[in-house]
């Protein structure tokens, strides 16, 4: 998941560019790092009681973070209706997706996360939110799975909140927000859909702007939006754009991770884009 709760932080099959032994599939560069899968007693209890209802158990492909070739996800069958779909990539501990599902029964919500303890904690949060039936959890690699599972134009909102910044230069290729991710996700966005992102690392905000602003398939929803107010405790690149920032997304709850960053003096950089006409 992201730094403590995101796909960009809680996921990875193995080190990037690992060479597979003979007979095994080669491993792609991934944005996540697999962490411990052991569950506390409370999380195990939530998993045992609720995973069958909320966690989508699709047939796996060459790795356990990929679906079987030819697999698809029937959204109407999954949710029992047709409704606008919101996807959170790297849902972490589930604070956002559980709150959103409870607050917006008119929408369907899909949390994509490979971190087992995060998924179990999300189930616990869903239960505390009243067990809304408009949310499901997908324990797969979003970038490589969603294009295979979902039809084009099926997503109304796509959220990427606080992905792992991968600070070291040699790891920048592992950042989730990169051209291959956009190539996978943009075709899934419906006309008028919104791609929402947030990070509390100014250097990653700079990277996001470079990648997103350079893609002609996207248009900023806030081209004149000012920078967040305040002084950042982390280094701010000199050429970080002054405008083009979104206001804080009111639909994003303040997670434990975001509060931790705020206590450290980091600013939150929000972005919002829509498919270009």
Tell whether 88 is in a known binding site: yes
Q: Which listed residue (164, 215, 224, 270) is catalytic?
A: 164
| DSSP output for 137-177 | EE-S-HHHHHHHHS-TT-EEEEEEES-----SGGGGGG-SS
In the sheet with 269-275, reading across from the earlier edge strand, the strands are: 135-138, 108-112, 85-89, 155-161, 189-199, 269-275, 218-220
Active-site residue 28, yes or no?
no
Tell whether 162 is in a known binding site: no
Which whole-number Å values give the CA distances from 33 to 7, 14, 171, 174, 203, in the listed order? 9, 7, 12, 10, 20
The CA distance from 168 to 49, in Å, is 40
Other CB atoms within 10 Å distance of the CB of residue 125: 19
Tell whether 168 is in a known binding site: yes
Tell whether 113 is in a known binding site: yes
The CA distance from 208 to 241, in Å, is 11
Please give the structure tokens belonging to residue 118.
């995060």
- Residue 60: helix, strand or coil by DSSP? strand
Tell whether 258 is in a known binding site: yes
Residues 6+ apart with CB under 8 A from 13: 27, 30, 34, 63, 65, 141
Tell whether 65 is in a known binding site: no
Q: What is the dihedral of CA 273, 7, 50, 110, to 10 degrees?
A: 20
Tell whether 199 is in a known binding site: no
Tell whether 270 is in a known binding site: no
Tell whether 76 is in a known binding site: no
Binding residue ranges for S-adenosyl-L-methionine: 88, 113, 141, 164
Residue positions annotated with a catalytic role: 164
Binding residue ranges: 88, 113, 141, 164, 168, 200, 255-258
């Amino acid at each position: 998941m992201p730094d403590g709760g995101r796909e960009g932080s809680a996921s990875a099959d193995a080190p990037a560019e690992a060479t597979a032994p003979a007979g095994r599939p080669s491993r792609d560069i991934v944005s996540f790092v697999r962490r411990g899968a052991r569950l506390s007693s409370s999380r195990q209890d939530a998993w045992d009681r609720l995973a069958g209802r909320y966690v989508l158990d699709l047939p796996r492909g060459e790795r356990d973070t990929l679906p079987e070739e030819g697999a698809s996800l029937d959204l109407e069958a999954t949710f029992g209706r047709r409704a606008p779909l919101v996807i959170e990539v790297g849902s972490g501990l589930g604070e956002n997706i559980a709150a959103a599902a409870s607050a917006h029964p008119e929408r369907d919500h899909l949390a994509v996360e490979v971190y087992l303890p995060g998924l179990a904690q999300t189930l616990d949060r869903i239960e505390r939110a009243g067990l809304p039936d408009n949310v499901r959890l997908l324990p797969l690699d979003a970038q490589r799975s969603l294009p295979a599972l979902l039809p084009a134009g099926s997503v109304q909102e796509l959220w990427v909140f606080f992905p792992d910044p991968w600070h070291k230069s040699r790891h920048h290729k592992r950042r989730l927000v990169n051209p291959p991710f956009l190539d996978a996700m943009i075709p899934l966005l419906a006309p008028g859909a919104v791609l929402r992102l947030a990070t509390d690392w100014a250097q990653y905000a700079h990277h996001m702007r470079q990648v997103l602003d350079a893609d002609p398939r996207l248009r900023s929803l806030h081209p004149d939006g000012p920078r967040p107010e305040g002084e950042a405790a982390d280094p701010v690149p000199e050429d970080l754009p002054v405008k083009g920032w979104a206001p804080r997304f009111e639909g994003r709850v303040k997670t434990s991770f975001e509060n931790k960053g705020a206590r450290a003096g980091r600013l939150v950089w929000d972005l919002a884009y829509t498919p270009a006409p």
